């Protein structure tokens, strides 16, 4: 079930160039944030060791690796991630890969998340990539496949959260990146929503990176977003 504690539902994206900057961000947010996302940029700059350190310090970690490979390779990767003790791991929502990951994570507390359509992509981007579906239709198809595979949740744009929630039910995590406070720059995101609207739409967790880690006062930025979440 979705927690009432907004600190557990705000995931701060440590989209930073090095571990030193990430560690400083975590220190700046001490007592405000407790859940952190580590993606490619930081992972390839020492972020996997940082993930272990954060787990050891009692923090929750969302490892955003978007795995996709042959079944055996996916399964072996998931087994290694289980041993790290992180809370969430992403993989692209391809049915075979998801089934392999679920089997590998069985008996653990790792929440596996299926990535549907990246929030930087619109309909023309999907056409160019060879998909026959528009983003909304593809997201809903992936949501059905996530549920059938026994995954722990789904990653989608907040604009699709309400429709996804109807498919996956109340128990699965619906994690939404592309969150921007009112008036914030959208950057390269094309399907965005405010924190309050995302929660009202059915999101269980919000991933917020640049509006927090690029803010002059990270702590104040995170507190403002938490206040908006609480008001929703």
Handedness of CA 68, 69, 70, 71 (dihedral sign): negative
| Average pLDDT over all residues of the chain | 92
Residue range 85-115, pLDDT digits in tens:
999 999 999 999 999 999 999 999 999 999 9
Quote the CA–CA distance of 20 and 9 in Å, as a whole number. Answer: 25
Let me know if residue 65 belongs to a domain: yes
% of the chain beyond a pLDDT of 90: 79
Q: Which residues, other chains included, contact 132 with Cβ-Cβ below 8 Å and sequence gap of 6+?
A: none
Let me know if residue 17 belongs to a domain: yes
Q: Is 28 annotated as a binding residue?
A: no
Question: Of 66, 106, 166, 190, which is the active-site residue?
Answer: 66
190 an active-site residue?
Answer: no
Quote the CA–CA distance of 2 and 171 in Å, as a whole number. Answer: 7
Let me know if residue 70 belongs to a domain: yes
Q: How much is the pLDDT for 180? A: 79
Q: Is 37 annotated as a binding residue?
A: yes
pLDDT at 190 over 80: no
Q: Could you tell me the pTM of the whole model?
A: 0.91
Which secondary structure element, helix H or strand E, spans residue 79, and what is its range?
helix 71-84
Let me know if residue 137 belongs to a domain: yes
Find residue 91's DSSP bridge partners.
67, 114
Helices (H), 106-157: 123-128, 135-149
Let me know if residue 64 belongs to a domain: yes
Q: How much is the pLDDT for 186? A: 46
Residue range 148-180, pLDDT digits in tens:
999 999 999 888 999 999 999 999 999 999 887
Among 96-105, 128-137, 188-197, 220-229, the range scoring the smallest mean pLDDT is 188-197
% of the chain beyond a pLDDT of 70: 94
Complete DSSP assignment for 166-188:
HHH-SSSEEEE--B--TT---TT
Let me know if residue 133 belongs to a domain: yes
Let me know if residue 1 belongs to a domain: no
Let me know if residue 130 belongs to a domain: yes
The residue segments making up the domain with residue 110 are 6-231
pLDDT at 62 over 80: yes
Q: Is the separation of the CB atoms in 129 and 177 below 8 Å? A: no
- Domain count of the fold of the chain: 1
Quote the CA–CA distance of 12 and 1 in Å, as a whole number. Answer: 21
Q: Is 30 annotated as a binding residue?
A: no
Q: Is 125 annotated as a binding residue?
A: no
Q: Is 124 annotated as a binding residue?
A: no
Give mean pLDDT, residues 40-48: 97
What is the CATH classification number for the domain harbouring 37?
3.20.20.70
């Amino acid at each position: 079930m979705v927690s009432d504690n907004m600190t557990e539902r705000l995931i701060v994206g440590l989209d930073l160039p090095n571990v030193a900057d990430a560690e400083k961000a975590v220190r700046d947010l001490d007592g405000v944030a407790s859940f952190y996302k580590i993606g490619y940029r930081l992972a390839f700059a020492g972020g996997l060791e940082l993930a272990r350190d954060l787990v050891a310090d009692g923090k929750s970690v969302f490892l955003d690796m978007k795995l996709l490979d042959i079944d055996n390779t996916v399964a072996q990767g998931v087994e290694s991630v289980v041993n790290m003790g992180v809370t969430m791991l992403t993989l692209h929502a391809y049915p075979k890969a998801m089934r392999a990951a679920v089997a590998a994570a069985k008996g653990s507390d790792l929440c596996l998340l299926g990535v549907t359509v990246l929030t930087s992509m619109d309909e023309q981007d999907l056409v160019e990539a060879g998909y026959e579906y528009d983003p909304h239709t593809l997201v809903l198809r992936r949501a059905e496949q996530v549920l059938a595979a026994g995954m722990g949740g789904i990653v989608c744009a907040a604009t699709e959260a309400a429709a996804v929630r109807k498919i996956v039910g109340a128990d699965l995590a619906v994690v939404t990146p592309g969150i921007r406070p009112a008036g914030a720059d959208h950057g390269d995101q094309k399907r965005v929503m405010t924190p309050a609207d995302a929660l009202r739409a059915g999101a269980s967790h919000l991933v917020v990176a640049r509006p927090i880690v690029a803010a002059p006062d990270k702590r104040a930025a995170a507190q403002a977003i938490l206040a908006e979440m609480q008001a929703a």
